[in-house]
Amino acid sequence: MDFISAFMVNSTVQAITPILLAALAGSLCARVGVFNIAMEGQLLIGAFCAVAGSHYTGSAALGVAAALVGTVVFSLILAYGATVFRGDAVVICIGMNLLASGLTAYLLRQLFGVSGVFSDPNIAELAKIRIASIHSIPWLGWIVSRQTVLTYLSWALTALVAYVLYRTPMGLRLRGVGEDPEAADTMGIDVRRYRVVTVLAAGALTGLGGAQLSLGTVGIFSEDMSAGRGWIAVVAVMLGRDNPLLAALACVLFGIADALSVKLQAQGLPNQLTDIVPYVVTLAALVISYRRKRGTRLA
């Protein structure tokens, strides 16, 4: 693999991170019985808060902290709307996605006096970490040792979430809340509290994804820059059947599709055609998964 191909794979690994973190959030919510399709809006809120925090403080770390806080606060709508007020989670999530799009566009004009794209030298981007022991290795050094801390953290969190869900008493209670809330309540588990806390924790994960999207990838904010990544994360959760490890594998599949689209564009194909490759792969994977699931049920 040549230098250009290695660089493309490096960029693809970075691009997977927001989708992976959102897919982890969706898997956690699904495990407690809350169907979360608001990741598109949550990524957008996280990206905006990260840029705003970084711009005003001059610190990428504080920008990430702002993304965490902003997305958790935004997630209160789903956390309490779907549990305390017993609203329809799908309707709430669609409203949150629309709210995030309109709110970030409005705040972009009010806070920075621009529309469309906000770029400023004061925005501190997330630094790429160079691992000295492998940085000099051809190809591998470019892919593994030149990522942001959030990229490394996303894979560590994937392992941690899987461990907590399947190897700890807390994970057993979380799964019990989603599978049979009445039985969990009979055993003395506060179903409502578990759901609220889990949805807020999932919001924090998606906030990290938004911070990676704006500070770790491009260093700017543009309106609706989540660009369907939240919906791809929803599909990853469905393909993984609420298992964070399988959802992570689905995210890798979408990352490969993204790399393929870039490669095809480099070969001279129109970008209008190559840009749809990840979404075509997403739809194809969803259809195949549905057909297999249906065939299993009929058998």
Which residue in 183, 147, 134 sits closest to 255, CA to CA?
147
Tell me phi and psi for residue 84, to 5 degrees.
Answer: -65, -45
Helix axes 149-167, 244-266, angle to 10 degrees: 150
- Which pLDDT value is given to residue 251? 87
Q: What one-character-per-residue DSSP string does the chain give?
A: --HHHHHHHHHHHHHHHHHHHHHHHHHHHHHTT-----HHHHHHHHHHHHHHHHHHHS-HHHHHHHHHHHHHHHHHHHHHHTTTS---HHHHHHHHHHHHHHHHHHHHHHHHS-SSEE--TTPPPPPPBP-HHHHTSTTHHHHHSSB-HHHHHHHHHHHHHHHHHHHSHHHHHHHHHHH-HHHHHHTT--HHHHHHHHHHHHHHHHHHHHHIIIIIIISSEETTTTTTHHHHHHHHHHHTTT-HHHHHHHHHHHHHHHHHHHHHHHTT--HHHHTTHHHHHHHHHHHHHHHHHHHHHH-
Question: What gap in Å lies between CA 42 and CA 229, rounded to an integer?
Answer: 11
Tell me phi and psi for residue 222, to 5 degrees.
Answer: -130, 150
Contacts for 190-194: CB closer than 8 Å, 24+ residues apart: 192/83, 192/84, 194/32
Question: What gap in Å lies between CA 276 and CA 250, rounded to an integer?
Answer: 17
Question: What gap in Å lies between CA 227 and CA 252, rounded to an integer?
Answer: 18
Which residue in 198, 211, 205 sits closest to 44, CA to CA?
211
Q: What is the pLDDT along the chain (299 residues), one digit of tens a residue?
A: 444 555 555 666 777 899 999 999 999 999 999 999 999 999 999 999 999 999 999 999 999 999 999 999 999 999 999 998 989 999 999 999 999 999 999 999 999 989 889 999 989 999 888 776 666 666 666 666 678 899 999 999 999 999 999 999 999 999 999 999 999 999 889 999 999 999 999 999 999 999 999 998 888 999 999 888 899 899 899 888 889 999 998 888 887 777 677 667 667 777 767 777 777 877 787 787 777 766 655 55
- Which pLDDT value is given to residue 95? 96
Question: What gap in Å lies between CA 150 and CA 127, rounded to an integer?
Answer: 10
